[in-house]
Structures are given as C-alpha cells and as structure tokens.
Amino acid sequence: MEGETMRRPLFGLVGCMLAAGLIFSQTAQHEVSVTNIQVPVRVYNRDVFVEDLKLEDFELLEDGVPQIIDAVYLIRENEMARKEETKAFAPHLPRHFYFLFQVTNYDPRFKQMIDYFFESVLRPDDTLTIMTPLGNYALSRRALKPKPKPRPSLDMQKVVRKDATQGSGDYNGLVRDLTRLVRSISAVGGVEGEARMNTAIDSDSMQGSFSDVRNVAPLLGSYRATLEKLEGLRVFEEKKLMAFASQMKRLPGEKTVFFFYEREFRPEISDRILGQMMQRFQDEPGIIGDLQDLFQFYQRHVTLNTERIARVFADSSTLLHFIFIRRDPGTASGIRMREQSEDVFQVFSEVARTTGGVIDNSQNPAQAFKTAYRHTGTYYLLYYSPEGIASSGGFRTITVKVKGKDLTISHRRGYIAE
C-alpha cells in the first residue's frame, strides 16, 4: 500500500505464499527423538471460557493411548495467567495474526472489524499480515508506537478496499458476462424465442427467427468458454497451501489466521429453460450435445486433498478461523444463481475443525470476527511427552478431555511425526 507524500507506508508488501487470484511451530519439533509436544486447548461451558481447570482435570490421549501431562499453562492475551507443572517449559507467547481476504465485494462492515482489531486486540508485540488476491502486506513495527500516532486501522481499510475492488475485477466481469449470455440464451432458445417463430408472418420476420435459432450454438459456446475462464480464476494450488502451513510451523509463538471468504454464485441457465431447449432442439444434435456438456460442467468436484491440507495446518499449530460471509444471489427470469462455494467451504471448514478454530456463517463480518476472537485470546497450553506410541511416522491423533465434565473442548487434532 502506498503511503501519503513524504510518509513511509505502515503496511509493506511482502512475498506471497498464496497465489495471486487465489481466493489462496509453536509445537516441539515433531521428530521421533524429540518428545515435548504442546497443545493449545480451549474449554467452554456453553459460550463461557472455563478458567479454573487444573492439570489433574485434563486427560490427553495420543492415538488412543493415555499420556502424562507434564505442564498446564493458562494463557490470557499472550500473558501467562497461571501455571502448573511437573516439568518446567518456556512457552513462546508472541502473537502473529493473519487476515486472509477472498471477497468479491468490499463490505462496509470491514471498517468496524478493523477498528475493533486495532483498538481492542492488537498489542505492540504482535505481528499482523494481510493477504489479499493482489498481494501480502505486513504491518511495520513503527505503526504501533504511541508517538507519532499513525493510522494503521485506516491504512488497512484502504488496502482491503482497494485490493478487493481491483482483485475481483476480472471475476466480477466474468460473472456479468455470464449473466448477459444466460439472458440471451433464454431469450433465443426458450419460450420467448419459440414465440417469436410462431408469430412470424413475413419473410423478414421469419428470417430473423431462424437467425435466432442459429445463434443458439455460438451463444452456448461463449457461455461454456466464459464458465471455464471463471473456474480458472478460482484455482487453489495445494502445494502453495502446504507451503504456507510449513512456513507457519517454523514461526514461534501463537499463530492465528482469520480467513474471510464471500459466498459465490454462478449464473446458470434455469432448469425450465434447459428443459424447453432440450425439447425444442431435439433434432439439432450439435445443440443437444452442447446442452449435455453443460450438465456435465455444472457438476463440480473438490480436487484438493482436504484431509492432507487440514493435517498439515494442524501440525503447524496454526489456529484457523473460517468466516463464511453470506450474501443474497439476487433473482432474474431465466437465470439460476447457483452457489459455487462448496469446494472452498468443504476444505477450509475441515481445516478450521482440525486446528481447533471457529466456523462462522454470517452476513456480518465484523460480528463474526468478534465471535472468532472470543475463541482465541484465552486458552490452556498443555505439554506432554509421548509414551507407548510406535516410533513410525505419520499423523498422530490427539484427544483432550476434561474428566467428569460435559464441556465443549477445541484443540488441534494432532501432529505429523517425522
């Protein structure tokens, strides 16, 4: 982000780990010879954090085998509020915040969220990185100094607004093209086009009607090509997600990711119009073939390995909150606005669950952020040394319970033993 004249920017551009156009450890080193594993644990009675638990209250299992917990630390806003240990550890408590934005529209309520973050959450020792479709930005250290007093909140809002608008320009343009093409196809190939043919009474009108029929094939071709371009903008590169998680694993301290993803819709030919076209052009094999291809193209499949990605993020001891921003699709005659968020939602919902994060489905990103942060700032940090586990590598599953109590517990599901 560019700063004002004669002023250095508060946010500097840093190298991207996620691809442009993508939506896109504090643990002990997990080698067999290293035994200390730490697990951030959040415990709630309804929505209230339970702060009076002791070491003896916790039960921890690795791959189903009970483990001895060596230490429990209560961490509140990156400060150690209480500790109980049979072995002494030195937890890294600096906090690293990452905001990932994959949105096609700038929501004015982002301002409330960003103001709240700077006023009530961010502290001088914290770090902040913003990731948008156009690049990654890191908050400079000087931005949090009390004097001179800069406006990092306002600068972050400018970054998010600018990148959301510019970064989604091609995507929104393709959606508009699809909407226009669907309207044209519906008018030419549906009941409206058929009515024009039936009411043609002179040669010029009849010629125009047959011309409309001949236009169906190129319109369908343009529609299919535009769909493919739109899908091309939504490609997630699994190796980049894995690289990002690996980078986070090497970062000491508490790592929290807030991923804001806006619900997506794809303009499609309505089922009614498709049915009419299949009947009307039953003697036109080329058009029927194009329509059948669309039926196949509409069936979308998740190509990412959800389990592998989720486990790598859990191994990095990164807490990921997935904030799914709902929006209404709008309606238009002959157009079906089909939601196309299922692939992203499936992958990152599982990442959030596996890392112990929150999944929030909301129309208000500011309120969703506050909810997610309430499940972030305070937690227990448990340490243990695995015993009774085979020395082979792979993903080790961690289960944490509170003895004799029915409470809601969230934590990372495991780590990768190398």
Q: Which two tokens stand for residue 314?
A: 């859990």
* Phi/psi at 266 (5° precision): -120, 125
Which pLDDT score, from 0 to 100, does residue 179 have? 92
Mean pLDDT by runs of 10 across the 418 residues of the chain is 41 47 38 72 94 97 96 93 94 93 92 93 91 87 57 88 89 92 82 42 38 74 90 82 93 95 90 87 87 78 86 96 90 82 91 97 95 94 90 89 95 92
Q: What is the pTM of this model?
A: 0.85
Which pLDDT score, from 0 to 100, does residue 351 have? 97
CB count in 10 Å sphere of residue 46: 6
CA 280 to chain centre: 42
Which pLDDT score, from 0 to 100, does residue 294 have? 83
What does the DSSP assignment read for 343-393?
HHHHHHHHHHHHHT--EEEES-HHHHHHHHHHTTSEEEEEEE---S--S--
Which pLDDT score, from 0 to 100, does residue 33 have? 45
- List, in order, residues 6 or more apart from 221 with CB less than 8 Å away: 290
Q: Tell me which DSSP letter residue 57 carries.
A: G
**Which residue is it, tokens 């979308």?**
300
